[in-house]
Amino acid sequence: MKASELEEGHISTVDLNGNHLLLSRIGGEVYAVSGTCTHEETDLGLGVVLEDRVVCPLHLSQFELKTGVAVNPPATVPLKSFKAKEIGDTIFIEV
């Protein structure tokens, strides 16, 4: 996706090589984590962003967008984190 399409404090989902990913821009940096909740396999792209976390729309678990860490139950398993790099107006993800 184009880097200019990912606004600060927002999330976007992409499917890449069989992976459903959640991209975010926090403090000017781009981050990528798996986009499916580890508790009930819900699309986190439908969730809301609270500062540097995404809130699952199903049971309200929160995950850190920078690291994928599960912050509160019912989810306890972290999201997988991927390396993201912005070059020009393109975002590259290492999967």
Is a pLDDT exceeding 90 seen at residue 1? no
The pLDDT, as a whole number, for residue 84 is 97
What domains are defined for the chain? 3-94 (2.102.10.10)
| Under 8 Å between Cβ of 37 and 75 | yes
Whole-number pLDDT of residue 42: 96
Q: CA angle, corner 39, sides to 56 and 53, nearest 5? A: 35
Given a contact cutoff of 8 angstroms between Cβ atoms, the answer to whether 50 and 60 are in contact is: no
**pLDDT digit string, tens, across residues 44-92:** 999 999 999 999 999 999 999 999 999 999 999 999 999 999 999 999 9
Q: What is the mean pLDDT of residues 20-28?
A: 97
